[in-house]
Amino acid sequence: MRLIACLITVLVFFYLLEKPIKKHATLFYIATIIISVLSVLAPKKGLPFVIDYLVKNILARGTLAGALFILVMVASVCPAAKLRGLLLRTRGEMAIIAALLTLIHNISYGKHYFVALFTKISDLDAPRIFAAVLSLVMIVLLIPLTLTSFMVIRKKMNPKKWKSLQRLSYIFYGLLFIHISMIFSISIAKGHLSTLFDLTVYVIIYIAYLICRAKKYEKQRVLCILFMVLICALYIPIAVMGFKGSKTQKENVTTEENVSTKASSDAAYKDGTYEGSATGYSGQMTVSVTVSCCKISEINIVDTGDDEEYLIDAKDVIPQIIEKQSTEVDAVSGATHSSKGIINAVAKALESAKE
């Protein structure tokens, strides 16, 4: 749904502001850079809900940049004449703004995944390693594509050489789809069908693009059909894995909530440090619970596959549990699965601490 909302928003934005964007493109590029810098430097907590959602779910995740890249991709084969005209007239500006917005995504995630890739690759699973490598390749491709999208540079280039260079964009779009599929597969494998829906939207868009391209360019039909088959071959196993994961997750969560008796505020515990595990967003969440003077004094996350962006908010349940001396606290909105994982893991640890 986020991608669809971004696509609609971008189309409306460029439709209403086409003339100012074409006339004062540099100002819009500067504004995009400012937004990117502010998003990267924005505090992780304490922002108003709307701004926090935009930064974390639209900008940092690369959804807005992805929507812009998709519109640039489909511009030449869009079947609607008026829409095609708008996209063709503005796709250069769209491409540059999209590239500038990817700074937010690459910095927000790269500071962890790129660093881990080169310093401690064992901390990453196979899909994340593959996705990180693809990101680096896409960055290398994006640099010349973006620079040559600026009219001041494009005008100085030989038209044939410029067109040949721009063909790299097709490789970029293909890698973008694979990158998205790898990242989404991690969540889908854990049974999060909302992410499967998001991936389905991308699949529909890419297949529609290939169909339109096959109709317009007869010589490319076989190649387009081949790519459609490859997309389906990648998507179907992920979808099957998602439905199986959803069933398993429901069973695990139900078991955890039934077996892990919620710690009540009047319960007494033996002093010591205890560990417990439960299902988080991307797998097992393990916590250690320290009991001092028969009371919960400290809770730490020992191991988790969940991304830091979820953990930042999910950790809010920890001081609540300590204050209440109970796991009967509400999950955190926006980090529901991660916070529930912490709550259930603490409950399991406290089972061992009961006198």
| Angstrom distance (rounded) from CA 290 to CA 298 | 5
Chain segment 263-317, per-residue pLDDT in tens = 555 567 788 888 888 877 777 788 888 888 888 888 888 887 777 666 777 788 8
Residue 285 main-chain phi, psi, to 5 deg = -115, 120
C-alpha dist (Å) from residue 274 to 238, 288, 324: 36, 5, 18
Residue 174 main-chain phi, psi, to 5 deg = -65, -45
Q: How high is the mean pLDDT in each 10-residue block of the chain (355 residues)?
A: 92 94 94 92 82 86 93 93 93 93 86 86 84 92 90 88 89 94 88 89 96 92 95 95 82 59 60 83 82 85 74 81 83 78 84 73
154 CA to centre of own chain: 32
| Angstrom distance (rounded) from CA 30 to CA 144 | 19
Coil, strand, or helix at residue 61? coil
Query: How does strand 272-279 pair with strand 284-292?
Result: antiparallel
Q: Is the Cβ–Cβ distance between 234 and 241 less than 8 Å? A: no
pLDDT at position 301: 85
pLDDT at position 32: 94
CA atoms within 13 A on the CB side of 193: 9
- pTM comes to 0.83
Q: Is the Cβ–Cβ distance between 142 and 172 less than 8 Å? A: yes
| Angstrom distance (rounded) from CA 307 to CA 320 | 21
Coil, strand, or helix at residue 217? coil
pLDDT at position 255: 61
C-alpha dist (Å) from residue 336 to 17, 191, 207, 257: 38, 14, 33, 14
| Angstrom distance (rounded) from CA 21 to CA 13 | 10
**Sign of torsion, CA 149 151 156 157?**
positive
pLDDT at position 286: 87
pLDDT at position 253: 61
Chain segment 118-139, per-residue pLDDT in tens = 998 887 888 888 889 999 999 9
